[in-house]
Chains A and B, each alone.
Chain A
Amino acid sequence: MTNPTDDHPDYADILATCLDMVLSKRATIETCVAEYPHYADSLRQELSIALLITKLKPPTLSDNKVASIEARLMKSLPSQKVLRPHFGMIRRNVAAIFLIIVVIFAGSAGTVAASADALPGDALYGVKRWWESVVVFIATIVGDTETVLIQLAETRLDEMTRLAEIGGDSSQNLSDLASAIENVLRYNSDLTSREVNFLQATHRFLIGSSVVDSPLAQNMLDEIAPFLTVIPERPPASDMSSDSPMTPTPTATVAPSVVLSPTATASPIESITQVFTPTPSATSRIPPTPTRTATPTATPTKTVLAPIVPTSTPTWTAYPTSTPAPTITPSMPVIGITATANGGGIVPVPSVTWYPWQQATWDTCYLTRTVDPYGNINDPYCNSTLPPPVDPESLGVEVTP
């Protein structure tokens, strides 16, 4: 029995209120139902089930079992090395530097470049996957795992799609796609529009594919289902100004005035300071947003010092200057600086992103220089799409595929 009114956006709030009242015995189901007669059927049913679950005797481990697991656990612990975070950090730094050197050489060899378009079953596919695992490892160290994971997830989906187009058997790679989805969902609670787009594309692919009936595909569709929500467009700046005492400059932006000189150092420093100079631009892709801490003018010239949160294992130093004179040597990895709008005003969010010459559509604005396989340094560019301002799950709106 389904009451059609329970899809109303307020219903989840009403149910939450009633649940608190009923579970704390400050009201009965019927008093709540009487208060919201429009939702009587749904409320009565859902409150009853919630109350019923609280009456279930929860499964518990017996004391003996708890003790035996503990004994087993303790037995395995002495064999562990004493945890020394400081030693771990040093070891990771050394490993990072070593791997970066390996990656530079591997990248210049060109094999990796050749494997970029490889599909499962191709001779170079193993090289491609090895390269990806190296990238993930480095991303973990520099703390930018989420960006890399969504890129890899898109790659898996692209491979599946291409395999399907050429009539290949994509069922073997379904678990890779499932793993990629799981990685994206595991590290994110508030998905970016890029991640939601990926999930929607995956949903479309699975629905139309020959593997849709497999249990794994069904499981993936279940995992994806809660995220197939409508993301509202960000309101125009004029609508937002009412919440803020300042008036945003129409096209304030962060100019790509940061020059990156990545330099691997033997003694990584603990913090990095970058200088951002916001300048107005008529062609900015970043919508202006109000800020409570700064009042942008039509010609902002103030220099903003944006301290970077120190990472545990900084392995690169980036000294932005006002002169775009990169000293990147060919085949060196590229460091991108992320700038994103955060509530109000443009806040440079330092984020060191490494990736080779493959380009992707990033969610946030990346002021990036890239190096192609021949060592040419391209002009900086900026991709900007603001993250969704509202948690998609809180909308409770599902799109029927």
Chain B
Amino acid sequence: MNRVEEQRILKLAQAGNSNAFAQLYREHVQTIFRYLYYRLNDTHLAEDFTADVFTRAFKDLSNYQDMGKPFVAWLYRIAHARVVDYYRKMGRQGTESELDESIIITQRTDDVVDNTLLRKQMAQVLHLAIAQLIPSQQQVVMLRFIEEKSLDETALIMDKKVNAIKALQHRALKTLAQLLAKMGFAGDEFLGGLS
């Protein structure tokens, strides 16, 4: 959906057209779900929150103003606020994730380990490492390497300058490298395991 089309549908949705809103929902639901999944590290919770984000978006749609940014940037903000609210109510750190390092290391040093299982384990390790990043780093990783957005698009969505995004992606990758090293993996070696 291009920007012009999106703006047209948005106007319809703002006028109360539920079909138009459903179109926006279908366009962005997977993106918001992925974002929530990485932030919450829980599929069921991410599903519930996805529904909640779109419900809130519809309720607030009359206040939405197109400031030259894609609609999804607004949805990201709602999702982010929802996650922050959730962790505040839970009274625990947002990036805490349980990681059974011993299992992963054992699997890795086992010569007869099944390659599929190893790949699954490594993917899991990477998921958990991403979950331990601070929110802005998580978002830049998701937008750049999972949603495959350009630097300019990422900057627009995150409402930051391109240089800030470059710095943020560097810090995110550096932190990930440190987290993986802590778990016993070097990045390049890790890549070999998945190829």
* A interface residues, Cβ below 8 angstroms from B: 1-2, 6, 11-13, 15-16, 19-20, 23, 29, 42, 44-46, 48-61, 65-66, 69-70, 72-74, 76-78, 80-85, 88, 175, 178-179, 182, 186, 189-190, 215-216, 218-219, 222-223, 225-226, 391, 393-396
Residues of B that sit less than 8 Å from A by CB? 14-16, 18, 21-22, 25-26, 29-30, 33-34, 37, 43, 46-47, 50-51, 54-55, 58-59, 61-63, 77, 80-81, 84, 87-88, 91-96, 123, 126-127, 130, 134-137, 141, 144-146, 148, 151, 158-161, 163-164, 166-171, 173-174, 176-178, 180-181, 186-188, 190-191, 194
Inter-chain CA distance A6–B159, complex, in Å, is 25
B16→A179 contact, CB < 8 A: no
For A15, the chain B residues whose CB sits under 8 A away are 166, 169-170, 173
Query: Given contacts A16-B166, A44-B188, A51-B191, is CB(A85)–CB(B62) below 8 Å?
Result: yes
Contact across chains for B146 and A58 when beta carbons are under 8 A apart: yes
With A78-B18, A394-B161 as contacts: A46 and B173 at CB distance below 8 Å = yes
**Complex Cα gap A19–B159 (Å):** 21
A83-B14 contact in complex given A54-B146, A65-B47, A72-B51, C-beta closer than 8 Å: yes
C-alpha spacing A42/B77, complex, angstroms: 32
Tell which of B26, B148, B170, B188 touches A12, judged by Cβ atoms closer than 8 Å. Answer: B170
Query: With contacts A215-B96, A226-B134 known, is A58 near B34, CB below 8 A?
Result: yes
Inter-subunit contact A52/B194 (CB<8 Å) = yes
Assess whether B62 is in contact with A83, with CB atoms less than 8 Å apart. yes
CA distance A29 to B158 in the complex (A): 27
Nearest residue in B to A62 (C-beta to C-beta)?
Answer: B47
**Cross-chain contact A59 with B33 (CB below 8 angstroms):** yes
Name the distance in Å between A360's Cβ and chain B's nearest Cβ.
25
B175 to nearest A CB, angstroms?
10
Distance A85 CA – B16 CA, assembled complex (angstroms): 10
CB distance from B14 to the nearest CB of A (A): 6
Closest to A55 in B: B194
A396 to B174, CA, bound (A): 13
Which of A1, A59, A60 has the largest count of B CB atoms less than 10 A from its CB?
A: A59
Which residues on B sit within 8 Å (CB–CB) of A394? 161, 163-164, 166-167
Q: Can you report 9 A-B residue pairs in the complex whose CB atoms are below 8 A from each other?
A: A6-B174, A13-B166, A19-B144, A52-B126, A83-B16, A83-B61, A175-B91, A223-B134, A393-B163
Kindly list chain B residues whose C-beta atoms are within 8 Å of the C-beta of A45.
173, 177, 186-188
